[in-house]
Amino acid sequence: KVADFGVARFQNQGGVMTAETGTYRWMAPEVINHLPYDQKADVFSFAIVLWELVTAKVPYDSMTPLQAALGVRQGLRPDLPQNAHPKLLDLMQRCWETVPDKRPSFSEITVELETLLQESQITGTDYFLTQHSNWRVLMICSSVVPPST
């Protein structure tokens, strides 16, 4: 398990899950819609947590959890922050794609975050790393999580 957003399973267990588990504000559309789901539901939730770390806000904070769930079902996603690197914004958007198969794997996410961290250190464009200390913690954590096979 990379992280547990309420629906994670160890990868070697395989299969899909069907029960609604998790918290509406972070829940993937397929979970909200009571469809079978797999680890790609956690990728969606990860993107919401990533958004939280960059913005230091709660997703859909002007809505009730149920309103947020209904919005996500209809394609609602948090507004993209203006202070983040474009590659990070692209990653967020791909992670919260409506179609699970279009979302990257955690292995791909880890590689992209490590590359982005290295690029920011080389170019000195770490404005989004210093603005929110939570983001730096995420980057450090992602660099020590080995990609799953």
Q: What is the pLDDT of residue 126?
A: 53
Radius of gyration from C-alpha coordinates of the chain: 15
Q: Which residues pair with 37 in a beta bridge?
A: 17
pTM for the model stands at 0.73
Domain ranges of the chain: 11-144
What's the CA gap between 17 and 39, in Å, rounded? 9
Q: What is the pLDDT of residue 23?
A: 81
Q: What is the pLDDT of residue 18?
A: 41
Q: What parts of the chain have a pLDDT lower than 50? A: 1-2, 7, 9-19, 130, 133, 140, 142-149
User: Has domain 11-144 been given CATH number 1.10.510.10?
Assistant: yes
For residue 40, give Cα distances in angstroms to 13, 32, 44, 86: 14, 14, 6, 22
Q: What is the pLDDT of residue 81?
A: 87
For residue 109, give Cα distances in angstroms to 13, 48, 71, 143: 21, 14, 25, 10
The answer to whether 100 touches 37, Cβ cutoff 8 Å, is yes
Give residues with Cβ within 8 angstroms of 85, minimum separation 6.
116, 120, 125, 128
Ramachandran quadrant class, 108 (left: phi over 0; alpha: psi -120 to 50; beta: rest): alpha
For every residue of 59-120, DSSP letters joined together read: TTTTS-HHHHHHHHHTT--PPPPTTS-HHHHHHHHHHT-SSGGGSPPHHHHHHHHHHHHHHH
